[in-house]
Copies of this chain bind each other. A is one copy, B any other.
Amino acid sequence: MNTFITLSDEVRTAREEKKPVVALESTIISHGMPYPQNVQTARDVEQIIRDQGAVPATIALLDGQIKIGLSDEELDILARSEDVAKASRKDLPYLAAAGKHGATTVAATMICAAMADIPVFVTGGIGGVHRGAEYSMDISADLEELARTNVAVICSGAKSILDLGLTMEYLETKGVPVMGYKTEQLPAFFTRSSDYPVHFRVDEAEEAAATLHAKWGMNMEGGAVIANPIPGEYAMDEEVISGVIEEAVQEAGNLGITGKDVTPFLLQKIQESTGGQSLDANIALVKSNAEVGAAIAVSLNKKQS
């Protein structure tokens, strides 16, 4: 480990006792949900992981220090401060040097988790190849991170404002395994499925853990995606959501919104159209992913010891 990292007492003890640890990101706290739902969800998710026999490690930058595991005070700073930068791979070194706060994206959380030797990370959804990336080259750094950093990401797929087909092509080219948890279809965040097959279906946490164990046991660099569909009772109707997105894409076109402005515009339109339902869905899927991720971490930990 290096001087830029601080482990919480809970995480340090877990590591000393070789207990399974599950990393959690902080963008969802700072930029993904309103206060106080963000703090409440973060603590609920941590508790779900503890209930499964693993130890949660929420990751963020505070005053330039990479925190692996947050105290109540630290979580509160992160959840309420206006001055928390979004930290992806390109941002971590500057924010650390400048002593800033940062909420870690999927890519940056993977980096920090790997620094602390935590191989399992739970989040809502990963970034991907944006619609129109053939022209804009707007491709999330999350995908490159999956190609290089040894951390498995348990998520509910990627939001369908992205181009899921191109995202799967990119991951195939980079050799990143995408496993569907009890599904053959890539889930699309708010919906349980999409038009795209995953590479493999796994029906038990143990199967996913065995695959990770084999990958890293062979010294094959890089991560993996375990895609767990949103619980059925919270899933949105596929036609409704794709109708909303199509409409928003068209509206963006009419308003002359292009390039990097498109994604925030689409996300806001979806939120407006789906109201409170999208927040409830987001919370439900993260909790479900925490359960699956903790089970995978427990299983992987047994194999590694």
List chain A positions with a Cβ less than 8 A from chain B.
2-5, 66, 88-94, 96-98, 107, 111, 115, 129, 134-141, 143-145, 147, 165-166, 169-179, 199-200, 207, 210-215, 217-220, 224, 259
Contacts and interface: CB of A to CB of B under 8 A. Distances in A.
Given A139-B173, A141-B174, A144-B173, A2 B219 contact: yes
Contacts of A219: 2, 115
Contact of A215 (B88, B93, B210, B215): B93
B214 A173 contact: no
Given A2-B217, A97-B207, A210-B97, A90 B171 contact: yes
Contacts of A165: 259
Q: How many copies does the complex hold?
A: 3
Given A135-B134, A139-B173, A220 B129 contact: no
A91 B3 contact: no
A207 B172 CA distance: 34
A115 B199 contact: no
B4 A218 contact: yes
Nearest to A216: B93
A136 to B, nearest CB: 7
Contacts of A214: 4, 92-94, 96-97
A165 B135 CA distance: 11
Nearest to A114: B219
20 contacts: A3-B217, A4-B217, A89-B220, A90-B178, A91-B177, A91-B199, A92-B214, A94-B179, A94-B199, A94-B200, A96-B218, A97-B214, A98-B207, A98-B211, A107-B175, A111-B220, A134-B134, A137-B166, A141-B174, A165-B259
